[in-house]
Structure formats: structure tokens, C-alpha cells
Structure 1
């Protein structure tokens, strides 16, 4: 599968799921999660939507003719998956009283991939200057 198609596909899918999960959190989970867990769930939704938009913008603006373009996209795709979806699983499992502690380290790895994606994007913009 071409990286440009994957970037656009995942941007659209993440956007769709962010709306669904946001509504799910606002309505179905409001009474089941503590305020702290609901805030964490909402953080996952926000980051997912932000990066869905970024993926769509990149998918329609990058040429994907350089390995750097694919690396940026992959960092955002996998970083969002690890970051947001581990938060959802942690919140939902905690609400059931069975917190999946093994997912705790997954969230920061996803966050690190998002940071790397942004750093690579910054590098792409400034490298022609130097």
C-alpha cells in the first residue's frame, strides 16, 4: 500500500473514530468514569483528532518521494495508535476495575513517536535553509 494512500486513509479513519469516541465519552461514559478518567479519555480523543487532521494535510501536501515523508507519516500514524488507543483501553479497563497496567508504558511510547513526527516535520521545513 502506498504511503500517501495509507496517510489519507488513516487520517480519515482517525477523524471518524475521534468523533465516535468523543460522543461515546460525552454520553455513555460520563456517568461511568471518574472525572479524572473522563479527562484522560478526552485527551486521547483530542490528540487523535489533531493528528487525524495533520495526516490529512500531509497526505494531500507531501510528495512522498523522500523517505523522510514516509517516516513523518508513520510516526504520526503509529504514535496516534499507541498514544490514544492505550489511553482508551486504560480508562475503560479502570472503569471496570481491571486496569490493564501493561499498557501504561505504551502511552509514552506513542507520545514519543508523535514528538519525533513533529521534529521530523520541523526538520523537513528548515533543512532547505541550511
Structure 2
């Protein structure tokens, strides 16, 4: 997969969702819903930047370290992307009116984030 492209698309989406909240949702959402949205944007941005770093490692690792395990980096990238979709996605959805119980899946995205970073640590430590 082209993780650099996916990271760039995620980062564009971060800017769009942040701007959408600031200009289109601020007057329509409660303080609690706005906080959910901002948390989603923050975690989305942080992990999209992480995905960019993993994508760069995948692109340039043969030149930097031929022994860096590509499958480990791919798994890390996939877990970060899954975390973005589940964690940030569930918070975006709840902020826009999804039932509150929908937040029960948010921690699954958080676990995917943790697993992605741990997988990256394992991959680069080998």
C-alpha cells in the first residue's frame, strides 16, 4: 500500500474536519460534542503524522537500513490507519449525532493506536 499517499489524504482530511468544525459546526454543536470533535481531530492528526513517518520509513528504509522488516512496518501502518478510522471516526460520528453507545467502539481504535506504535517499536528494534 502507498502509506505516504494515505497519510497525505488523512492530513488533508484533518485540516478539512478542523476547519469544518471551526466554521460550520461551532454554532450548532454543544460544548460536549465540540470537545469530542476536537479530540477526534487531535488524535487523527497525531496518528496521520505517525503514518507519514512509517510511510517514509517504508519508502527509504532500503537505503537507510536494509534489515528493517517491511512486513512489520506495513502492519504498524495498517494498525494506525485502523485506529484513525475507529477512534476518530466514532468520535466524529457521535459529535454529529450518532447514539452515545457508539462510543463503546472508540477504545478499540485506541488499542489499535497502541498496537501500531508497539509494532513499530518492535519492527525498528530488530
Does TM, scored on the shorter chain, surpass 0.5? yes
2:43 paired residue number: 47
* 2:30 maps to 1:34: yes
Tell me the C-alpha RMSD between the 2 structures: 1.7
The answer for unaligned runs of 5 or more in structure 2 is 62-67
Three-state SS of the structure 2 residue aligned to 1:120 is helix
How far 1:100 sits from its partner (Å)? 2.4
2:56 paired residue number: 60
Q: What's the CA shift string for 1:22-73, capped at 9, x where partnerless?
A: 0011111111111121111001001111111111111111348532111101
- Indicate if the aligned counterparts of 2:4 and 2:51 stay in contact, CA closer than 8 A: yes
Q: What's the CA shift string for 1:71-125, capped at 9, x where partnerless?
A: 10100011111110110011101xxxxx324522221111110011111122233
Normalised to the residue count of structure 1, the TM-score between the two structures is 0.82
The answer for unaligned runs of 5 or more in structure 1 is 94-98
Match of 1:89 among 88, 93, 117: 93
1:107 paired residue number: 106
Normalised to the residue count of structure 2, the TM-score between the two structures is 0.84
Give 1 or 2: higher helix fraction: 2
